[in-house]
A and B are shown apart, each in its own frame.
Chain A
Amino acid sequence: MANNNKLRKVDIIFSAYPGNPYDILKNAIQRGKNEIIDDLIESGLRGRGGAGFLTGYKWRFMAQQKETEKYVICNADEGEPGTFKDRKLLVEVPRRVITGMAIAAYVTDSKYGVIYLRAEYAYLIADLQKEIDIFQEAAKKIGLDFTIEIFRGAGAYVCGEETALIESMEGKRGEPRNKPPYPIQSGYLGKPTLVNNVETFASAAMVCRFGAETYKSYGTDDQHGSKLFSISGDSPKEGVHELELGMKISDFVQEFGDGDTKAVQVGGVAGFCIPRKNFETSIIGEGNTTGGATMIFNSTRSMYNVLHNYLEFFAEESCGQCTPCRIGTQQLLKGIEAVKSGEKPESYLQDLIKLSRTMKVTSKCGLGQSVTNSFVSIVENFKEEMIY
């Protein structure tokens, strides 16, 4: 069970599969829909996009929706800076992603599926379409009525947010909706819509393949299973690595750092920045997000520049509709510039931290709500770098 927070590499999601393609799907749909959902809940699988909602519950809510027209959407708008694991899944094991979607379609009685593909991944379309064609043939044989299409995003970060993604699919400006209603209740074209991350679907297929018990034996008591980590920055081992959840940052740094690691950004720019002094006490996957983007910074990096870069990104990629996010991101950016230049006093950093907390509790969607994570963790831990 619990692995005592040791770092352990595992090989699940990409592991060779001896059977025929879509055997996992075939075996799954021979079981009851409720059993599959129970299994998923039992496995403890959480959404792999970042928010970490229990996948089994999400599927159950979807299955309970009475409408006949329902949609299953695979969120492949992988836009979080420092994340590139979904691309690897789509390139190397697309059938597992599709299998996950198909099982979801089966248990939720959905007939339509969409892969919402990041604009920059357009080069994957041809191969992905071939895979979808193969799947459609297989589905016909199995007797599953489920059609998958690819939808190309247009390049906005915020469209990774599920309601903005749906707006974008409807041909509208990619802006998050007011929630409730949630997509499960009223999503694409006002119909019940299940949106899951690429890795979530692939992991769900793995739960079906190995069973809940086996899957659950990985990870910690809080965070079960394995997780793909996109590792970048000052690391000799950049790339996608599959690890058990729940390792100490110090072990992570030991394995992936270059010996001079000063900070690790966990969960992409929307996540937290962990300074060296907290490496021993911080566990990846506990209290921080599970998107899997980890950026390693060594002592040559200016954390002011890092934060500045993040804030430029946020000020650019906010959709702009809600006040705290649109203007707040600009204020944080201008604010740290002003402190650096001496135009504003050191104490202004406290005002900015307070502002970022207002953004957290008042912004409409996860984008504006999460800016405070990296902002506060960098400003508080690297205050000298912000000022001097």
Chain B
Amino acid sequence: MSMISLKIDGQLVEVESGTTILEAAKKINVNIPTLCHHEDLCVAGNCRVCVVEVKGRERLEASCSTPAPEGMEIWTNTARVRNARQDIVSLLVSEHNTQCTTCYRNTNCELQNLAAEYNVDGNRYLSVLKPGIKVDTSSWSIEKDDSKCIRCQRCVRTCAELQHVNALTASHKGKDMKISTFLDLPFNEVVCTNCGQCVNRCPTGALTERRYFNQVWEAIGDPTKHVVMNTAPSVRVALGEMLGYEVGHRVTGKMVTAMRKMGADSVLDTDFAADLTIIEEGNELLTRLKKVLVDKDQSVKLPMITSCSPGWVKFIEHMFPNHLGHLSTCKSPQQMFGTLSKTYYAEQKGIDPKDIVSVAIMPCAAKKYEANRPEMNDSGYRDIDAGLTTREFGLMIKQAGLDFKNLPDGAFDSIMGESTGAGVIFGATGGVMEAALRTAYAVVTGRSVPFENLNITAVRGTDGIREASIKVENCLPEWSFLEGVVLNVGVAHGLKNARIIMDQIAAGTSKYHFIEVMACPGGCIGGGGQPIPTNAEIRAKRTAAIYEEDMGKPIRMSHENPEIVKIYEEYLHEPLGHKSHKLLHTHYTPRNRY
């Protein structure tokens, strides 16, 4: 790459040829406002708020989409530029539902910020907001309010580029141009995985998760109800962002105290269920390997693929309905937790399960859909009564008036509150794989995985698809069929990469035995229910926090979790046993691609 130099606001800057004006300006800390730009996505150049003046040109150029011109002078703060930006923001406001005070994204809205910055007069132009726009609340996970849409198409690009789902697309033209689902059908009738990545990248309140927190407050206020809350591993490394902490700050102890102060009757940990998932899924893998390698059973599918991520599960149901046999039958940790909260927990505590309200706090939008799947009632009740996002949870903490930063650290209740480092790393891409390998290797060989500090770094990282091979040696006698076998494992995150993995399986060329797939880029730390904004740097900091949390745990392999040992002794008896099958495993539904 050749270097070019140019002047921005009088300051000389050298950049690689092809760098946009926006990137060049960032390099010398010149701030240019943007709306349609998002660093995870391709350039759009739609909103035009990033226009700058290139000396000698009459037109202003969109800095996000214009390559920095060699030897040119760029001015980012002239009267022409400011006037143009103010006009453009005013136009967007004139098309917008400006009921900001009642908007879920109030105080965290990019349009609102720019309108404030440019002191936009809301009456400058006439309103061209279409009357009678209805909010689409048909989905259990995502709400779409076109009256707040600025047509930046970040959601469209997210769904197409990162997720290969294309649930959203630009439709119509001119004044009628809008973001539509297929045939403008309600969200619950189109192919959508509910991953919520669009929500994470929406600059305004046009796309939000469907909120259930009022139902949770109601249950908390009802003395006849016993409210059990559980929080996923990645919530504790992101929640702080909503409550005044730097990105990547772990708030586990304060989070536990907050739930208790909010009025939860029991504060438990999804990580416990994650550890349980590892036992069930690890054993399922070993059983499948035996059936294939020893029994030559053709009906058993390899590679086996994880099923923790409900966005991914819905994706494979739609896109690869003929390959559902590859999915592990294990429920996700959320749903295992939910079922056990109304069976095992209820029994142990002597509470009538009908009075238990099980609330899951998740980094996820798809978990809401999962909780509402019709089959998820193996406890005899709705296994999970409400799924909340990290964002809703942060809002509840604010509503409760808690001085979060000064709360004392608390510890999870028992039972179902104990977890290991293996359960924690479920929150980052590659974590389920690493946790499963830690346990499966130990079960098969009686020894720990041969990696320093149990850290299987090959499956960590941010590459879309990663892989590792582990040779199984010196097995315990009952696993002798695995002696010398090289286990190939793969990890994919983001549904774009999941599709690559599945295309290989469909073509019969997959080399893996076991694959972890997470719907969201970065895994759950980048989930559709996490604090907004998201970008690679934020995801990296949350991931680092997850691995810190793992290293800080005294126990780091799921099968050594004493509460896991106990639940098998007292209740489940054995992995993949009768009770496990009834409570912890599920089935999948082939769906259409349209």
A contacts, CB < 8 Å to B: 156, 158, 173, 175, 178, 180, 314-324, 326-331, 334-335, 338, 344, 351, 354-355, 358, 360-364, 369
Contacts and interface: CB of A to CB of B under 8 A. Distances in A.
A362 B48 contact: yes
Nearest to A313: B174
B174 A327 contact: no
Most buried by A among B46, B62, B92, B175: B175
Interface stretch (B80-88, B397-405, B560-568): B80-88
B545 interface: no
Contact of A317 (B59, B169, B173): B173
Nearest to A351: B124
Interface string B49-70: 1010000001110100111000
Given A178-B65, A358-B84, A321 B177 contact: yes
Interface residues of B, number: 39
Contacts of A362: 48, 51, 59-60, 62, 84, 87-88
A175 B44 CA distance: 11
A318 B94 contact: no
Contacts of B43: 178
B548 interface: no
B45 A320 contact: no
Contact of A323 (B46, B60, B174): B46
13 contacts: A156-B173, A178-B65, A319-B177, A321-B44, A322-B47, A326-B174, A326-B175, A331-B125, A351-B124, A355-B87, A362-B59, A362-B87, A362-B88
Nearest to A358: B87
B59 A324 contact: no
A241 B66 CA distance: 41
A308 to B, nearest CB: 14
A327 B128 contact: yes
Contacts of B51: 361-362
A261 B357 CA distance: 80
A322 B150 CA distance: 10
Given A320-B174, A361-B58, A362-B60, A331 B47 contact: no
A354 B47 CA distance: 19
A330 B51 CA distance: 21
A330 B95 CA distance: 10
Contacts, number: 114
A358 B83 contact: yes
A169 B80 CA distance: 36
Interface string B87-120: 1100110110000000000000000000000000
A318 to B, nearest CB: 4
B151 A320 contact: yes
Given A321-B151, A358-B83, 12 more contacts: A178-B62, A315-B175, A319-B173, A320-B176, A321-B44, A324-B88, A326-B95, A327-B95, A327-B128, A335-B125, A338-B126, A360-B59
Nearest to A174: B173
Contact of A363 (B48, B58, B151, B170): B48
A331 B91 contact: yes
Given A320-B170, A326-B174, A362-B88, A331 B128 contact: yes
Nearest to A343: B126
B126 A361 contact: no
Nearest to B65: A178
A331 B65 contact: no
Contact of A158 (B44, B83, B173): B173
B153 interface: yes
Contacts of A334: 126, 128
B87 A322 contact: no
B296 interface: no
B172 interface: yes
Contacts of A328: 91
A255 B153 CA distance: 50
Contacts of B66: 178, 180
A322 B170 CA distance: 12
B63 to A, nearest CB: 11
B151 A326 contact: yes
A323 B88 contact: yes
B84 A361 contact: yes
Which among A326, A328, A329, A338 has the greatest number of chain B C-beta atoms within 10 A?
A: A326
A314, A318, A320, A355: most-surrounded residue (chain B CB, <10 A): A320
A363 B66 CA distance: 13
A47 B332 CA distance: 63
Contacts of A330: 95, 128, 175
A328 B91 CA distance: 7
Q: Which of A317, A331, A338, A362 has the most CB of B within 10 A?
A: A362
Contacts of A363: 48
Given A351-B124, A369-B59, A318 B174 contact: yes
A332 to B, nearest CB: 10
Contacts of B45: 178, 322, 364
A327 B170 contact: no
Given A322-B46, A322-B48, A358-B83, A316 B88 contact: no
A315 B95 contact: no
A245 B484 CA distance: 85
Contacts of B92: 323, 327
A369 B60 CA distance: 11
Contacts of B175: 315-316, 318, 320, 326, 329-330
A19 to B, nearest CB: 46
Contacts of B172: 320
B344 to A, nearest CB: 53
Given A316-B175, A320-B170, A361 B91 contact: no
Nearest to A158: B173
Nearest to B60: A361
Contacts of A314: 174
A158 B172 CA distance: 13
B46 A327 contact: no
A323 B48 contact: yes
Contacts of A354: 87
A364 B91 contact: no
A103 B572 CA distance: 81
A369 B67 CA distance: 20
B83 A327 contact: no
B126 A320 contact: no
Contacts of B65: 178
B146 to A, nearest CB: 13
A318 B128 CA distance: 15
A329 B48 contact: no
A251 to B, nearest CB: 31
Given A327-B128, A338-B126, A358-B83, A364 B173 contact: no
Contact of A316 (B46, B58, B91, B173): B173
Given A320-B175, A331-B94, A334-B128, A173 B58 contact: no
A178 B126 CA distance: 29
Contact of A361 (B44, B59, B94, B128): B59
A329 B47 CA distance: 15
Interface in B137-165: 150-151, 153
Contacts of B177: 318-321, 326
Contacts of B174: 314-320, 326, 329
Contacts of A158: 173
A335 B128 CA distance: 11
B173 A320 contact: yes
A323 to B, nearest CB: 5
A331 B177 CA distance: 15
A344 B153 CA distance: 33
Nearest to A334: B126
A308 B493 CA distance: 52
Contacts of A323: 46-49, 88, 91-92, 150-151
B59 A321 contact: no
Closest 6 pairs between A and B when the two form their complex, measured CB to CB: A320-B177, A327-B91, A178-B65, A358-B87, A318-B174, A178-B45
Contacts of A369: 59
B585 to A, nearest CB: 43
Nearest to B150: A323
